[in-house]
Structure 1
């Protein structure tokens, strides 16, 4: 039996509520302009973010009122559970498998939590076996789409033939804070959306693409670049202005080191599949990787249609790249809290 791990199937899902960018801008002006003197200066981000619309766990009117942990986590459990079922069921169906065939499940999310974890709460509803191995992961943020995919791939490689289900779910909009009169909160209000993605991975014949290598890089002394500031009101966004220039300066050396550990060079990569954290971050990544401006076209298309959904966003991009035709070798890259970079190289399936 082969030990080459393959992505067998991929599916995405979004909540039913849609917020167009002009609606978000108008609502934000109504909620913040009279209380935050820098709002009108910062509000330009709604036009420059490259976003047309986003999906949200709750309708726009929900965000007019303050919400505490109970409201936020109740909404998270309800909507994240529904998206989990939708994305996972679709991915398994595309692989011609059922939930009872799954041997291991890796679930990543940094925008909410439940205990027991979602995979346990949904086990009976999905039809998972009692002996399924569960790996819920919290805290990797935007990098988790690649990091979690890598964890799932390594589990699949360690057990040839085993079916590994990877699910990424983020409800970023539930972190919206009426009480946070800060630049990061306004930027987040213009940028983030909600969504989920699921993948089936297996060391077996067939599949969409081959998983060639995985790797990560943790940058020292960078804890303040991105993350959560957790208080009584909920999650508060930490998002440093230094992120785009940091990415432009530090991403290529990190990715080069990851590739080198696997006997590869930047020149070996035919297509970079990047997490679209924002327009400035995409431009920084193109510069860092010596790509022609505008090269990351699928990334910009996903950002425009869905916003930054944190971890599943890069999988939405992967779905489009696979549909368009994966080149001989690609590298899937995401950055996240830590500050860290994750990279997975993929080969076109033989």
Structure 2
């Protein structure tokens, strides 16, 4: 009989620079108002996102100057490494462990390029052992929180007793582009912030939840829904199809299939813990999963306080949900580029 994988801790970290949503609109208007003919029609998105505050790895003024790959990369290496150390340290402290006791380090990040990767850059500060296994994962985008947790559970299950540290770090703000006069760029400017989250997993008795199952679903011919385009300036966001109507129309059948493989149904889930991509995405999730309007309260709270941080965001929601008290069965789920839905089932 396999030893159950337990979730020992969840922790979050935010960068030091605050961006109230009202200020974000003022900055965007100053930068795009006279250059983008449809800006006034797009401006209400800053209010409709449900966001009050976001946090950035650089002061707001840094983003107002033209920045290329070298400057963006340097900001990523510093900001993402700092966030990694903050989140990982807090998660390990909560679990009663040190960096030297970590056996496997899984790093999820899609908003910068780092070779050596972030966990290598953090080894000295964290005190990781030289023989610790390092697994950097790139390209999962907003699905990375749930997918990283799922992969971490499989690693823990395959190495009973091993301490697995999963860290999701994103600096979405570094993809802010003053040269992109597109609707997608305006939406991204209204939505995304920076942050990190970390979890500690181990197959054994301790912990506050058991990871009982994982599943993913990738829809064919959906590469254009979201992702990055790359040019000499840096990353540029791709939103070629609206995500809320796609989720409304397609997520429920996929979720039914993923949960059926674990021998239960949507109706058997006490709490869905979802990645809040935006207010309309949250509403689409509540509708298609028959949760009732307002059911995803922690999701709305995280979105309001931090914006969409891509991969770490769903782990922020998980942190709030477990502090409020996890029910008997929860399903952590995120949507991301691919286009993919990722799920992790938790038993409290």
- TM (normalized to structure 1)? 0.98
Aligned to 1:52: 52
Gapped runs of 5+ residues in structure 1? none
Distance 1:196 1:172, change over 3 A: same
Q: What pairs with 1:20-31 in structure 2 (closer than 5 Å)?
A: 20-31=20-31
CA–CA distance in structure 1, aligned partners of residues 124 and 86 of structure 2 = 15
Helix, strand or coil: the match of 2:7? strand
- TM (normalized to structure 2)? 0.99
CA–CA distance in structure 1, aligned partners of residues 64 and 110 of structure 2 = 23
CA–CA distance in structure 2, aligned partners of residues 341 and 5 of structure 1 = 22
- Per the TM alignment, residue 2 of structure 1 is displaced from its structure 2 partner at its CA by 6.3
Aligned to 2:84: 84
| 1:178 lines up with 2:178 in the alignment | yes
- Per the TM alignment, residue 298 of structure 1 is displaced from its structure 2 partner at its CA by 0.4
Q: What pairs with 1:216-255 in structure 2 (closer than 5 Å)?
A: 216-255=216-255
CA–CA distance in structure 1, aligned partners of residues 294 and 230 of structure 2 = 36
| 1:35 lines up with 2:38 in the alignment | no
- Per the TM alignment, residue 125 of structure 1 is displaced from its structure 2 partner at its CA by 2.3
Q: What pairs with 1:1-350 in structure 2 (closer than 5 Å)?
A: 3-348=3-348
CA–CA distance in structure 1, aligned partners of residues 241 and 160 of structure 2 = 44
CA–CA distance in structure 1, aligned partners of residues 81 and 113 of structure 2 = 11
Helix, strand or coil: the match of 1:338? coil
CA–CA distance in structure 2, aligned partners of residues 82 and 64 of structure 1 = 23
Checking the alignment, whether the CA contact within 8 Å between 1:225 and 1:240 is kept in structure 2 is: yes
Please identify, of 236-245 and 207-216, the stretch whose mean Cα deviation from structure 2 is larger. 236-245
- Per the TM alignment, residue 120 of structure 1 is displaced from its structure 2 partner at its CA by 1.3
Checking the alignment, whether the CA contact within 8 Å between 1:88 and 1:198 is kept in structure 2 is: yes
Helix, strand or coil: the match of 2:285? helix
Gapped runs of 5+ residues in structure 2? none
TM superposition outliers: structure 1 runs of 4+ over 3 Å: none
CA–CA distance in structure 2, aligned partners of residues 20 and 281 of structure 1 = 21
Structure 1 vs Structure 2 CA RMSD: 0.9
Aligned length, in residue pairs: 348
- Per the TM alignment, residue 314 of structure 1 is displaced from its structure 2 partner at its CA by 0.3
Helix, strand or coil: the match of 2:264? coil
Checking the alignment, whether the CA contact within 8 Å between 1:2 and 1:205 is kept in structure 2 is: no
Helix, strand or coil: the match of 1:230? strand
CA–CA distance in structure 2, aligned partners of residues 48 and 265 of structure 1 = 32
CA–CA distance in structure 2, aligned partners of residues 124 and 47 of structure 1 = 42
CA–CA distance in structure 2, aligned partners of residues 170 and 149 of structure 1 = 15
Checking the alignment, whether the CA contact within 8 Å between 2:153 and 2:211 is kept in structure 1 is: yes
